[in-house]
Amino acid sequence: MKRRHFIRNMAYGSAAGITLGGVPLNLLAANPGLKQLAAESSNDKVLVFIQMHGGNDGLNTLIPISQYSDYYNLRPNIAIRHTGTRSYIEVDDTVDEGARIGLHPDMLSFKQMYDEGKVAIVQNVGYPDMNLSHFRGRDVVFMGGDESGEHDYHSGWMGRYLDNLYPGYPDSYPSDGMKDPIGIELSGTLSLAFHREAGIPIGLNIGSPEQFHELISSVGVNPPIQFPESHAGDELKYIMEFEKKSNQYAGRLKEVYEAVSESSVEYRNGYPYASPGRANNLASQLKLIARLLAGGVKTKIFLCRIGGFDTHGEQVDPNDSSLGMHASLLYNMSTAVQDFYSDLKSRGIDNRVLSTTFTEFGRRAYSNDSYGTDHGTATPVFVFGTQLNSGIYGVNPGLKPEDLHHGNLVYNIDYRQIYTSVIQDWFEGDNEALIKTGFTDWVDTKIPLVATTGVDSYAPGKNLTSIQLYPNPVKDMVHIQYNLEFRGEVTIHIIDSSGRKIRSLREEGRFGSNRITLNVSELKEGLYHVQMNHKGNQIHTRFLKI
């Protein structure tokens, strides 16, 4: 049995555990997968991953307004209404028609954050030949790989990224310079996300900070016996090292947790409408993260999850498609994130935290007869924070029969383009950091989600003009994101490998972020250059047409 499977399946009693504030934690300190994500990060920024566990139905989360009739025909028994009471909420009526979307009516908190510039929506995210198994699908997203076999790892991309930040980990840590675990997973299991290629991740789980301190302090810090030279001996030693590292972090986490008071923000807990729902366990996880950060923990990455998205049946109430289990989950996710950022703001640390959702796969475009949806492919990703180039990235998926692949949506943005933006722009890592993380093929392909100059950092005379393209390589639609220091006319030329200008466009650009979409489906395969001219400045980039 592989070691990560051994640990995943191990009973919690065999290694000490923690639950701070009633939330189970895994401390992921010894992670060469985790360690590379902050590896090049000298800033104090934090990343929070929110797993929508089970496979979220993107089409009932973001309703495609311009294709509503096609959407309804695919799923008449679960479609969200476009008129009347509890119809969808239009996100943004200023975007191109093909990108206009409606939110599920229980995502009002999400809409409020979007209007405040705190949300970026990335449409149609996936990877080649998406795996529709829950376990394999999660592992693929965690490891930063795909189903081609070319990018298959036995560790998580977060673990690989953080691995170079703290040399000598875990034996040399905690230290005066880094007293805290590098990553914390808020759940009862230890996922692949924070595993490294070799070494000891730390997994803990108990009932309260006090019980945590008392229990862990009683654990022996040195292995009591010599271990047999066998597979069983190796695994027994592995467990004992788990416990030893747990003991080293016990007092520190208790100290951080108790350094600050409970939040002054009241997190909403539970779905308020007459429909099946569940307590909002995501709210308690995010509340704990805010308190730990306010208490001074220097952990770089948190992973939390909200479960229940595997909605094969009873996704909606048969009498009202806007209600039901999926509605309650979207409500809980949206309110928990809004309350989290309100909490962070009240503590003066909201600018330090970027959050992003992910799910192992989406759902099929067609509904089933059980008022649900089966495993599918492409799905949207949401990014939250105060330092974003907020807005909608990409366009609505094609919903006509010829646009679908075996009843599934076709992705056009690879999920690693989002992670690349996190590494380069949020943690300020360079191309070498991407290569060490295993993202060699994704250098220069990021989606410009993060406002790299800072939302409030504009100063006259500082050149903010830039241009970026995504997806890249591109098959049909290429999105051009450009930022301007001054408003004014912009000319963009598409140039082939022979130097011939084959497409040109002009528009009046505004200060800050601008975005346009071009259909390049008729272009031949090959490398193309993009030249942008603005007020005497010329900026170049390129894309690969496939």
User: What is the CATH number for 489?
Assistant: 2.60.40.1930
Question: For residues 479 and 517, is the Cβ–Cβ distance under 8 A?
Answer: yes
- Same domain flag for 13 and 133: yes
Residues 302, 369 within the same domain: yes
Is there a single domain that holds both residue 528 and residue 413?
A: no
Domain match, 416 and 489 both: no
Cα-Cα-Cα-Cα dihedral sign, residues 151, 156, 158, 161: negative
One domain for residues 237 and 370: yes
| 501 shares its domain with 424 | no
Kindly tell me the burial class for residue 229, based on how many C-beta atoms sit within 10 Å of its own C-beta (0-12, 13-18, 19 or more): exposed
Separation CA 153–CA 140 (nearest Å): 9
DSSP code, position 226: P
Q: Which domain holds residue 473?
A: 466-545
- 108 found inside a domain: no
Task: With beta carbons less than 8 A apart as the criterion, state whether 441 and 420 touch.
Answer: no
Residue 23's identity, in one-letter code, is V
Does some domain include residue 91? no
Same domain, 192 and 279: yes
Q: Is the same domain home to 415 and 484?
A: no
Q: CB of 152 within 8 A of CB of 145? A: yes
Same domain, 380 and 235: yes
Whether residue 471 is contained in a domain is answered as: yes
For the chain, the distance separating the N- and C-terminal CA atoms, rounded to the nearest angstrom, is 40
In-domain check, residue 379 = yes
Is the residue at 439 inside a domain? no
Give domain status of residue 437, yes or no. Answer: no
Cβ contact 89:48 at 8 Å? no
CA geometry: angle at 271 spanning 269 and 274, to 5°? 145
* 368 and 502 co-located in one domain: no
Same domain, 420 and 316: yes
Dihedral sign (CA 249, 250, 256, 259): negative
How far, in Å, CA of 395 to CA of 96, rounded?
Answer: 9
For residues 379 and 517, membership in a common domain is answered with: no
Give the pLDDT of the chain (546 residues) as one tens digit per residue: 344 443 333 333 333 345 555 555 655 443 344 444 444 455 789 999 999 999 999 999 999 999 999 999 999 999 999 999 999 999 998 887 888 999 999 999 999 999 999 999 999 998 888 877 776 766 666 666 666 665 555 555 555 555 555 556 566 667 777 787 777 777 655 554 544 455 544 333 333 445 445 654 554 545 555 666 766 666 566 556 656 666 666 677 778 888 999 999 999 988 988 655 578 989 988 998 999 899 998 888 888 889 999 999 999 999 999 999 999 999 999 999 999 999 999 999 999 999 999 998 999 999 999 999 999 999 999 999 999 988 898 888 999 999 999 999 998 888 888 888 888 889 887 777 777 777 777 777 788 888 875 433 323 233 346 787 877 788 888 888 887 767 788 899 998 877 788 898 888 887 667 888 888 988 988 888 888 888 777 787 888 888
Contact predicate 281/289, CB 8 Å: no
Please report whether residue 480 resides in a domain: yes
Q: What's the number of domains the chain is made of? A: 2
> Does residue 415 lie within any of the structural domains?
yes
Question: What is the reported pTM?
Answer: 0.75
